[in-house]
Amino acid sequence: MRLLIIGNLDGHIATAGKIALESGAKVAHEESVERAMTALRSGQGADLIMIDVRLDIRQLCTNLQSERISVPVVAFGIGAETKLAVDAIKAGAKEYIPLPPDAELIAAVLSAVAEETSAVIHHSSAMKNVLSLADQIAPADATILITGESGTGKEVLARYIHSKSKRAQKSFISLNCAAIPENLLESELFGHEKGAFTGAISRRVGKFEEANGGTLLLDEISEMHPRLQAKLLRAIQEREVDRVGGTQPIKVDIRVLATSNRDIEEEVRQGNFREDLYFRLNVVNLVLPPLRERDGDIEALATHFIAKYAEANAVPAPALSDEVRAMMLAHAWRGNVRELENTMHRAVLLSHDGVITPDSIQLRGATADARAHAQVAAESTSSDANGGQAQAAPPNGATALVGRTVAAVERDLIIDTLNHTLGNRTHAANILGISIRTLRNKLKLYSQDGLSIPMPGEAERSSV
C-alpha cells in the first residue's frame, strides 16, 4: 500500500502519517499539488492520496484525470471545517478524514483502498489444482499467461502470484489494455518525453518503469493492436523500453504477467495477435475454470461477499436461505465471480429480517431463466403424477424474439449486459465477446438515437 500525503507535515498530519506507517503503508510526502504531480509523473506511484483540505483539490483531481493517473483522493482537515469538507467532496475527493486523526478511521480507509486482493477463496478441486501450479512457479521470474472467462478472477490470481514471488515487497502495477484508447496505450506502457505529442506537457514515466523491480500485469492483452505488440515484444525480450519521443533506451527489471479472456491461439490464426508475442508470453499458462465448474466455491465466495458488503454498509451480515443456495448452484454464472459478487452486494441491500431470500436475489441471463422454467415444468409433472390438476409448459424464449429485428435484439442485449455490469464498459465488452472499441461505437449510435445509456455506477444506484 503506497500512500502519498500532500500538505505540510506538521502536528495532526504528521500523526496521520505515522498511523499509516504503523498500518503497513509506505508513506511519501510532498508539500504541494505541483510537486505531487511531478512525483507521480516520475514513476513514484501511489495507491492512495491524502491531501490537506486547504489545498487546491479540484486542480489535483483535474490533473490526475487529464493525465490518466488513476488514484483515489482523500481529503483531511480540522474536524470543524465543515464547508471545506463539503467542497473537497464536490471537487473530487472520495472521502474526508477529520483531524485529529483517529487510528481506527485511518486504518479503515487504508484497508478499504488496499483491500487484500491476493487471497483466493476456494474449496473446489479445480481451483486447488490451479493454485498448486501457481505456487510452484511463483518464485521464478517466468512470464505467465493467465486465461479464463471474464470475471473468473484473473487479476486476483496475478496478485496472488506476485505475493508469493521474490518480488512481493516491490510494486505490483496493473494496466488494462482494453480500457485505454490505442493512441494513448503506447505512452501508458513506455512513457513519453515532454512535447512528444499534443498534450505531453511534461515527461511521464510509463508502467514498465513504474513497475521496475516488481511485477507488471498486462490485463486483457489480446485487445492490444498488433502494431503495438511488436514494440511490447521487444520490451519484454530486451528488458528495456523507449519512451515516446525519447532517444535513449531505458533498462527495466520486471516480471511480466498477462491475462486474456479470449482464445489467443484463435486470435493468432485470425491475424489479430502476433504469434511470436504469444509464445513469449505463454511460458506458463494458467487456465482459470469458470464458476459453473467450481460448485464447491460458490457458497464460500457468497459468504465472503456477504460479509464484505455487510461491513461496508454497516449492517449485520444476513444468512443465506436454503432456497437461495439451490438457486445459486443452478445458475450458469456467465459473469462468473464478478457476477456473484454483484449479486451478493444487491442481496445484502435487499435482504429482510437478517435472511437473503429468493426475493433478494436478482439473477439475470437466459440460462437462469431456462433452468427456472425447467424446474417449474418438473414440479408440474410431478404434481400431475400425484393426481394434481396443475399443468405448465416452459415458455419458449425464442418465440418472444419473433417479429423483432436483429439490431433491436442486439441493442437490448448490450444495454441489459451494461446494466448487469453496473455500467462498466470493459466488463460488458468482455461478457459480450466484443472489443471495447466496438461497444463504444454502438453505445454512441444508441445515444444519438436518444436512448438512455447506463453510466458507471448508475445501474447500482437504480437497483437499490
Domain ranges of the chain: 2-113, 125-289, 292-364, 399-463
Confidence of residue 105 (pLDDT cuts 50, 70, 90): confident
Q: Note if the pTM is more than 0.85.
A: no
Q: Could you give the strand order of the β-sheet that contains 73-78, starting from the edge strand earlier in sequence?
A: 26-30, 2-6, 48-52, 73-78, 95-99
What are the pLDDT digits (tens) for 257-290?
999 999 999 999 999 999 999 999 999 999 999 9
Instruction: Report d(CA 424, CA 409) in Å as an integer.
Output: 20
The reported pLDDT for the residue numbered 106 is 75
What are the pLDDT digits (tens) for 182-197?
888 998 899 888 887 8
pLDDT at 109 over 80: no
What does CATH list as the number for 125-289?
Answer: 3.40.50.300
Confidence of residue 80 (pLDDT cuts 50, 70, 90): low
Query: Residues 225-241: what's their mean pLDDT?
Result: 93
Give the CATH fold of the 292-364 domain: Helicase, Ruva Protein; domain 3 (1.10.8)
CATH 2.30.42.10 assigned to 399-463: no
Mean pLDDT lowest among 203-217, 291-305, 399-413: 399-413
Mean pLDDT lowest among 34-48, 64-78, 104-118, 269-283: 104-118
The reported pLDDT for the residue numbered 462 is 38
Same fold? 2-113, 292-364? no
CATH 3.40.50.2300 assigned to 2-113: yes
Q: Phi and psi at residue 143, in whole multiples of 5°?
A: -70, 140
Query: Residues 293-314: what's their mean pLDDT?
Result: 89
The reported pLDDT for the residue numbered 372 is 47
Instruction: Report d(CA 151, CA 124) in Å as an integer.
Output: 17
Instruction: Report d(CA 31, CA 39) in Å as an integer.
Output: 11
Looking at the chain, the whole-number percentage of residues with pLDDT higher than 70 is: 86
Q: Phi and psi at residue 61, in whole multiples of 5°?
A: -65, -35
Write b or e for each residue in 234-255: b if 16 or more Cβ atoms lie within 10 A of its Cβ, otherwise e.
Answer: ebbeebebbbbeeeeebebebb
The reported pLDDT for the residue numbered 236 is 94
The reported pLDDT for the residue numbered 27 is 84
The reported pLDDT for the residue numbered 153 is 92
Higher-pLDDT residue of 304, 398: 304
pLDDT at 131 over 90: yes
